[in-house]
Homo-oligomer: A and B are copies of this chain.
């Protein structure tokens, strides 16, 4: 009973059956008699036998592994991952496990030459792409992936003609809710922080929601209150300083992400302005910090659990040949303290 690294052949010898029968028994094939199957499975358990994944994978051309590719436009020095994406990780891992898949993670610079390799090398059956980045660079890579018949799911809005499938929250609706909330509270001059170009579809969609809410309120969205800012705290900070330096008046800020919102709050506070009395602030994401800063940040929550599970279900669907549609989930406005009211 004591074999060092048992193979299915060892189990077969122990059970007095052929190796093929062991293989069938362990995969619960109906072709093998129940009594035989149970006996074999017991022996496998007793000997700590586990099917060699490399051998099985080589035969079946499957790895039962999903590669999670996180990319970020951050500078390579710091290996800190955007906490917003990190919070999805647990859900992704768990739902992958429940469907019988392992999760391989990889951090990539957006500029890296990624990664047809994961699937081509049979390390993963499919990819989940997570990150905010420049859509134009991004898109080229997606096309290359699609060309290579790689299966992948993108976290992000379904952009017209974009290769592959995606899953995201309804960013426009989120932007609308955030802005309407501010408007309903009587705020008149709402600054928008984020990139509005089509290079960043999620931010652009949030901006669309912002505009839409203004129009519905009979206001045309003020152009001088739109500040380009990247998804970094320091950029949120700078954006506010710019606005202040220009002497533009504003009584609210809608930041495209919580990270920017927090930078913005700090800048406001550093300049002696009270949040929310002088300036109300809304973020987007509801990342872990949001509830803990002072004042607690009102924000648009994306349900990370739904996101993680949706992404995994879809990629597994793609892998297993089921039809998959890109889809959107509805975000919720989480009202805390940063808008007063």
Query: Residues of A with Cβ closer than 8 Å to B?
Result: 4-5, 48-55, 57-58, 63, 65, 79-81, 83, 86-87, 89-91, 93-94, 97, 102-107, 116-117, 120-123, 148-149, 262, 288-289, 292-294, 305, 308
Contact = CB atoms under 8 A, between A and B. Distances in A.
A103 B102 contact: no
Nearest 7 pairs of A and B residues by beta carbon: A79-B90, A54-B57, A50-B121, A54-B58, A294-B294, A50-B120, A79-B94
Contacts of A53: 54, 57, 63, 121-123
Nearest to A309: B79
27 contacts: A48-B116, A50-B121, A51-B121, A52-B58, A52-B121, A53-B54, A53-B121, A53-B122, A54-B57, A55-B122, A79-B90, A79-B91, A79-B93, A79-B94, A79-B308, A81-B89, A83-B86, A86-B86, A90-B107, A104-B104, A105-B105, A288-B288, A288-B289, A289-B289, A292-B292, A293-B294, A294-B294
Main secondary structure of the interface of A (DSSP, over half): mixed
B52 A55 contact: no
B79 A105 contact: no
A262 B288 CA distance: 14
A91 B308 CA distance: 22
Contacts of A117: 50
Contacts of A50: 116-117, 120-121
A49 B148 CA distance: 11
Given A65-B104, A81-B90, 20 more contacts: A48-B148, A49-B120, A50-B116, A50-B117, A52-B121, A52-B122, A53-B57, A54-B54, A54-B58, A79-B91, A79-B308, A81-B86, A94-B107, A97-B106, A103-B104, A103-B105, A104-B104, A105-B105, A289-B289, A293-B293
B48 A120 contact: yes
Nearest to A58: B54
A201 to B, nearest CB: 25
Nearest to A67: B102
Contacts of A97: 106-107
Contacts of A121: 50-53
A83 B120 contact: no
Given A48-B148, A57-B54, A93 B120 contact: no
Name which of A53, A91, A97, A289 has the most chain B CB atoms within 10 A of its CB.
A53
A53 B50 CA distance: 19
Contact of A93 (B58, B90, B106, B305): B106
Nearest to A6: B120
Given A51-B121, A120-B48, A288 B79 contact: no
Given A52-B58, A121-B50, A121-B52, A90 B80 contact: yes
A44 to B, nearest CB: 11
A10 B194 CA distance: 49
Contacts of A5: 120
A311 to B, nearest CB: 13
